[in-house]
Amino acid sequence: MAMSKTSQALAVLMVSTLAFTVCFMVWMMFGVIGIPIKKALDLNATEFGLLTATPVLTGSLIRVPLGIWTDKYGGRIVMALLMALTVPAIWLMSYATAYWHFLVIGLFVGLAGGSFSVGTPYVARWYPKNRQGFAMGVYGAGNSGAAVNKFIAPALVVAFGWTLVPKVYAAVMLGTLLLFWAFSASDPAHRVPSHTRFTDQLRALKEPKVVKYCQYYSIVFGGYVALSLWMVQYYIGEYGLDIRTAALLAACFSLPGGVLRAVGGWLSDRYGAHAVTWWVMWVSWICLFLLSYPQTDFTILTLAGPKTFHIGLNVYAFTGLMFLLGIAFAFGKASVFKYIADDYPDNIGTISGIVGLAGGLGGFVLPIMFGALVDLTGIRSSAFMLMYGVVWVSLIWMYWTEVRGIEVMGRRAHAFSLGGSTASPSLQEPS
């Protein structure tokens, strides 16, 4: 018996979210197995940043074509082919021995990260406009694959060594592919006309709004990816924790940053994309300001002699702030895509691919910059200093293009209404 449209939509959403969770888990694999690899190959911080970021590069660059192909051919076939292509590369990772081996194979493993720009338009088109924010938020909760990686990979590394992790992940990816194909569906009405040209769909790159959404997403998604990759080794270096404890605490950022994206979608549907994004930026700015302060000892001269004080976040305060930052990023990822669903309902695949590309490139560039800053300054919290500056730029941009614009439009509307009320009697005089 054929399923109803509502049942099909729910099945598509659930199985697509599962597929995206597994793809994201694979995409973030180096965040954990990169630590024993770093030790074995004696990598510095910059080399480690490049190692973790390499899969993010291909997962980002592929997003625009994947979004376009999803619009044209449908999400079911594109997602299935993408997952199938990653399985051999994941398996081969176990046999890499040299640094360049990891970089090259990582480029192919990174294809899994492109799944976001496939699933977003795929699930959105199964739902009415007033529920698309929530649907995309549920799908986007697959970002929690970053946290799943932190639960599974450390246990495997400690018990069997890092080489077992890629083999297990390849098997999981293959099993998920079979489940996805069995329970997903396709609707030809969701595809854009076949005569649509590549250049027609990329025309949106000229629009300032799209560039602005790219900037927002490079923070809330790019920052999320970068910090998810960076946090395990940060905890180990800053607080001297073992890999399992470090991964567990790092999941306090990754888990809410993924799971709560659905809540962000609901809030965006209810209160609007602008209101949610505005508060996301402010909360992120405050958290990053506090996280930026390095461990500091300073001495002052008092009447009783020199006294030394220590300023710095202990592991509990640090984890609490990271938890809040993860929540803010989760809401922000959903609200940015609510902007897209509202402004580009007929071109979600292409626009989400462009914006996703920007976010992914942020996730690629930031870990490398984190490592370079640590090598240059010797200060681990310099990563948060960089993020703080990026958020500050975005807040200023958002104020001038949205907040101030709304205020000006409101004053003009008020002035117009006052002018209309005074003019109305004179308009009625001839009668």
Tell if the pTM clears 0.85, that is, is over it.
no
Q: What is the per-residue pLDDT for 187? A: 76
Q: What is the per-residue pLDDT for 7? A: 83
Whether 431 has a pLDDT exceeding 50, the answer reads no
Q: What is the per-residue pLDDT for 341? A: 79
Q: What is the per-residue pLDDT for 200? A: 58
Helix or strand (DSSP H, E) at 17? helix 5-27
3-state secondary structure of 305: strand
Bigger pLDDT: 206 or 337? Answer: 337
Q: What is the per-residue pLDDT for 173? A: 96
Domains of the chain, earliest start first: 5-187+201-419 (1.20.1250.20)
Q: What is the per-residue pLDDT for 424? A: 42
Pair 130, 342: CB distance under 8 Å:
no
107-111, 178-182, 270-274, 414-418: least confident range: 414-418
Cα separation, 392 vs 407, in Å, equals 21
Over pLDDT 90: what percentage of the chain? 45
* Token pair 């969770």: residue: 21
Bigger pLDDT: 397 or 110? Answer: 110
Each residue's pLDDT tens digit, 137-156: 788 888 888 889 999 999 99
What distance lies between CA 280 and its chain's CA centroid? 14
Which amino acid does the sequence have at 22?
A: V
Each residue's pLDDT tens digit, 152-163: 999 999 899 999
Each residue's pLDDT tens digit, 9-42: 889 999 999 999 999 999 999 999 999 999 999 9
Whether 370 has a pLDDT exceeding 50, the answer reads yes
Q: What is the per-residue pLDDT for 152? A: 92
Can you tell me the mean pLDDT for 320-331? Answer: 94
Q: 106 falls in which pLDDT band (50, 70, 90)?
A: very high
Q: What is the per-residue pLDDT for 267? A: 87
- What are 44-48's contacts with CB under 8 Å, separation 24+? 44/371, 44/375, 45/370, 45/371, 45/372, 45/374, 45/375, 46/368, 46/371, 46/372, 46/374, 46/375, 47/99, 47/371, 48/233, 48/371
Can you tell me the mean pLDDT for 198-221? Answer: 77
Each residue's pLDDT tens digit, 274-323: 889 899 999 999 999 999 988 888 889 988 889 998 888 999 999 999 99
Whether 105 has a pLDDT exceeding 80, the answer reads yes
Q: What is the per-residue pLDDT for 405? A: 55
Cα separation, 43 vs 49, in Å, equals 10
Cα separation, 30 vs 249, in Å, equals 17
Tokens of 200: 């027609």
What distance lies between CA 245 and its chain's CA centroid? 24
Whether 192 has a pLDDT exceeding 90, the answer reads no
- What are 92-95's contacts with CB under 8 Å, separation 24+? 92/166, 93/29, 93/166, 94/163, 94/164, 94/165, 94/166, 94/167, 95/163
Each residue's pLDDT tens digit, 109-134: 999 988 988 888 888 888 887 777 77
3-state secondary structure of 215: helix
